[in-house]
Amino acid sequence: MLALVAIVPSAPLLVPELAGPAATDTEPVRAAVRAVAKRLGSAADRWIALGAADRAGSAGATDYRSCGDFGGYGVPHPVRLGGPPTEGAPLPLSMLIAGWVRGEADGGGERTTVTPWVVDPEWSPDQCAAAGLELARALSDGGDPDSDDPDSGDPDSGDRVGLLVVADGCTALSPGAPGGGERPSAIALQRRIDDALARADTGALAALDADACAAEGVGGRAAWQVLAAACGGPAADVAVSDVAAAEVLYRDAPFGVGYTVAVWSPGAPR
């Protein structure tokens, strides 16, 4: 049963060891992420982390390592997804961020475990909708995508799963933005994304245009559309309810990239 949805950016500069002491612009978004990490950790010990692969065509590995580090981003700060060390595919950035959020939730302890759910950043909306149905079923199975227990999704079973969504918005929101400077089209698109996340408007997220998002550098479009299908699609009743409440803790673009931190609270199961 879905306990809570937490939405955070896929930003390496969230990690203090990578940002450095002079990066004061990261403090507000980092504080917001830490706050939702605590809430997600209080709501559920088992999480599914939903985020994009680093490259198109590289999603879908059946197993990922349970450990990784940010060496590719300048400092080899280690993170873990919980449980014993395992072999497998290297963690993409979205899952490294998930590991860091896990550490912030329980102080780096062993209580929380995270299952990676990695999507292709170039999936079509229809592919995202299909993946969202699979995710809904995994949530109904208590976070285990391989579960074949027909009773494991019973809402009275007490097996509550948190969903952590790691995704960035547009990359052209300020004059010095990495997406080529400020563009009005990017600002307008980011406003639509932020408003949809603030209202838990799954229809608006599902309707995001893949080409427009690609043109504005939206790295989180596929993850948000999978989330939309899992929480609001016509077949999502296999796992979860309509969202009862949504709260935004942060929405801004300190480096010209859209960062949104939000929490969705599910209502009663359908």
DSSP line for 162-183: EEEEE----S-SSTT-TTTS--
- Looking at the chain, the whole-number percentage of residues with pLDDT higher than 70 is 86
**Angle, helix 93-106 to helix 27-43, in steps of 10 degrees:** 70
Indicate the pLDDT class of residue 176, thresholds 50, 70 and 90.
very high
pLDDT exceeds 80 at position 144: no
234 close to 227: Cβ distance less than 8 angstroms: no
pLDDT at 148 over 60: no
The stretch 142-161 carries a mean pLDDT of 52
Q: CA-to-CA distance for 220 and 238, rounded, in angstroms?
A: 24
**Long-range own/partner contacts, residues 147-151 (CB < 8 A, 24 or more apart):** none
pLDDT at 157: 44
What is the per-residue pLDDT across 38-74, written as a single tens digit (0 to 9) for each? 999 999 989 999 999 999 887 766 689 999 999 999 9
What is the tens place of the pLDDT at every residue in 87-142? 889 999 999 999 999 999 976 567 889 999 999 999 999 999 999 999 998 887 76
**Which tops the pLDDT comparison, 80 or 106?**
80
Q: What percent of the chain has pLDDT over 90?
A: 70
Residue 215 phi, psi dihedral angles, 5° rounding: -65, -30
Q: 170 or 24: which carries more pLDDT confidence?
A: 170
State yes or no: pLDDT of 207 exceeds 60. Answer: yes
Please give the pLDDT value at position 62: 63
> What average pLDDT does the structure give for the chain?
88
Q: What is the C-alpha end-to-end distance of the chain, expressed in Å?
A: 11
Taking the C-alpha atoms of residue 114 and residue 68, their distance in angstroms, rounded to an integer, is 13
Q: What is the pLDDT of residue 249?
A: 97
SS3 of 118, please? strand
DSSP code for 69: E
Check pLDDT > 50 for residue 165. Answer: yes
pTM of the model: 0.91
Reported as half-sphere exposure (CB side, CA atoms, 13 A), residue 206 has a value of: 19
**CA-CA distance, 95 to 79, in Å (whole number)?**
9
Arithmetic mean of pLDDT, 252-265: 95
In the predicted model, what is the mean pLDDT of residues 135-156? 59
Say which residue, 224 or 266, is predicted with more confidence: 224
Would you place residue 261 in the very low, low, confident or very high pLDDT band (cuts 50, 70, 90)? very high
Confidence of residue 242 (pLDDT cuts 50, 70, 90): low
* 239 pLDDT tier (thresholds 50, 70, 90): very low
